[in-house]
Amino acid sequence: MDESDDDSVGVVVGEGSTQIPVRNLWLLYLYASELYQHLSASERVQAESNPTALADLAARILLAEVRSRMRRGLTPGYVARHEVLTHVRDRVDQITTARGMLLERGRVACDFEELTVDTPRNRYVCAALLTAARWLGATRVLRSADPSRTSALAHDCRSVAADLQRVGVTAERPDPLTPRKQTYSHFDSDDRRMVAAAQLLLELALPSHSTGRMALRGLDWSQRSLRRLFEAAVRGFYAVHLRPEGWSVDKQQLRWPSSSSDAMDALLPVMEADVVLEHRRHRRRIVLDTKFTTAFSKQFGHRGGGLRSDHLYQLYTYVRSQEGEVADDMRTEGVLLYPATEQVPELDVTTRMHGHEFRVLTVDLAADASDIHTGLLSVVSP
């Protein structure tokens, strides 16, 4: 696909009068991707400084990881098979055998598991390489990219995919749920980075904001999808940058401080915080809720109204519900995080209620990656 002429313009999203400028959705996809958690520090800096090169980086990481697996041997796995054989293997499918009168011909239908490299994981990786080869060969990924370099990358993707097929990996339409079904042990934990790179390549498939020469799946601009992307991006960012500092980063269901019957508990609405940050040594617990909309209501006031009451009620309930669930010396705080809008470009206000600190702030998604980085980290500032 072709790129827009000015990446700094980005796009403006939102519903109704809410206008949210976004410099580049690639950065949000980067933060939300599992690959971001497996990048080295230098690779993260490279990807954040030039998000449009994310697909190029993911393709190179995938090539390096697959080549490494090919040298050491692909991770095998047991795959269910159903075949008609000349001998019994594992379980006999008696119905198929009887219906086809296979025994009369000296054959039998069997269900068995076979150790093979033709696993869903390796098929998914092979499909990602072939997909990358197609669009890398048909379009210019970066405005500043060397066409010969891009062509060489596409050739390498096709070549490595062919190597996978030669050792027995089937090239077929990938199952999008494959990465979520994977479990890893100590012996195949290195496959995580490979699968994460393949997932990013297949899920993004290089969408852009202008018409190009290839028909690929475009970005989902629905408000619901953008809300989920913003939430996942914030949580992924904190997982990478705060966990090394001693913070736990989780999406949690919060418990109601209720002593009611089981029947009543089943009827209570679910309280699920987007992100819960906790640092035991600093005795801090931050319940953070992301909102991909404006922070202000227009129900009153001549200057756009006050803060959204429904969002404040929700956060207030989340924070107060934790009073009996955490240690007495643990300070629970509440944060509402919004993207900056054209109507509210900047906001950072704090108040204390019932011993808890509540903060409402915005992060400017139209800013440079370094400014977004700083804005997100300001959430945990004392």
pLDDT in tens, 74-110: 999 999 999 999 999 999 999 999 999 999 999 999 9
More confident residue, 23 or 140: 23
Measured at the CA of 75, the angle between CA 73 and CA 76, to 5 degrees, comes to: 110
Is the sign of the CA dihedral 158, 131, 135, 203 positive or negative?
Answer: negative
| DSSP, res 287 | E
Please state the separation of Cα 205 from the chain's center in Å. 14
Whole-number pLDDT of residue 3: 37
Q: Which amino acid is located at 130 in the chain?
A: L
* Gap between the Cα atoms of 210 and 3, Å rounded: 6
* Gap between the Cα atoms of 54 and 328, Å rounded: 45
Q: pTM, whole model, 2 decimals? A: 0.77
More confident residue, 169 or 214: 169
What is the average pLDDT score of the chain? 83
Using the predicted structure, report yes or no on whether residue 247 has a pLDDT greater than 50. Answer: yes
- SS3 of 122, please? helix
Whole-number pLDDT of residue 43: 87
Using the predicted structure, report yes or no on whether residue 203 has a pLDDT greater than 70. Answer: yes
Domain residue extents for the chain: 33-74+118-218, 77-116, 224-380
281-290, pLDDT tens digit by residue? 999 999 999 9
Helices 223-241, 369-377: crossing angle, 10 deg rounding: 70
Only one residue has tokens 């490494």, namely 68
More confident residue, 268 or 51: 268
Using the predicted structure, report yes or no on whether residue 7 has a pLDDT greater than 60. Answer: no
Among the listed residues 115, 83, 116, the one whose alpha carbon sits nearest the alpha carbon of residue 102: 83
Give the CATH fold of the 224-380 domain: Trna Endonuclease; Chain: A, domain 1 (3.40.1350)
Whole-number pLDDT of residue 271: 87
Using the predicted structure, report yes or no on whether residue 9 has a pLDDT greater than 70. Answer: no
| DSSP, res 296 | B
Average pLDDT over residues 42-59: 81
Using the predicted structure, report yes or no on whether residue 111 has a pLDDT greater than 90. Answer: yes
Whole-number pLDDT of residue 24: 72
Q: How far is CA 359 from CA 34, 310, 349, 374, 379, in A?
A: 29, 15, 6, 17, 9
Q: Which amino acid is located at 336 in the chain?
A: L
Q: Which amino acid is located at 281 in the chain?
A: R
**204 CB-near residues (< 8 Å, 6+ apart):** 29, 54, 55
Whole-number pLDDT of residue 2: 36
| DSSP, res 380 | G
Using the predicted structure, report yes or no on whether residue 144 has a pLDDT greater than 60. Answer: no
pLDDT band at 23 (very low <50, low <70, confident <90, very high): confident
Average pLDDT over residues 315-331: 83
- SS3 of 369, please? helix
**145 CB-near residues (< 8 Å, 6+ apart):** 56
Q: Which of 59-73, 98-112, 245-259 has the lowest mean pLDDT?
A: 245-259
* Gap between the Cα atoms of 203 and 1, Å rounded: 15
167-198, pLDDT tens digit by residue? 999 988 888 889 988 999 888 988 999 999 99
Whole-number pLDDT of residue 303: 54
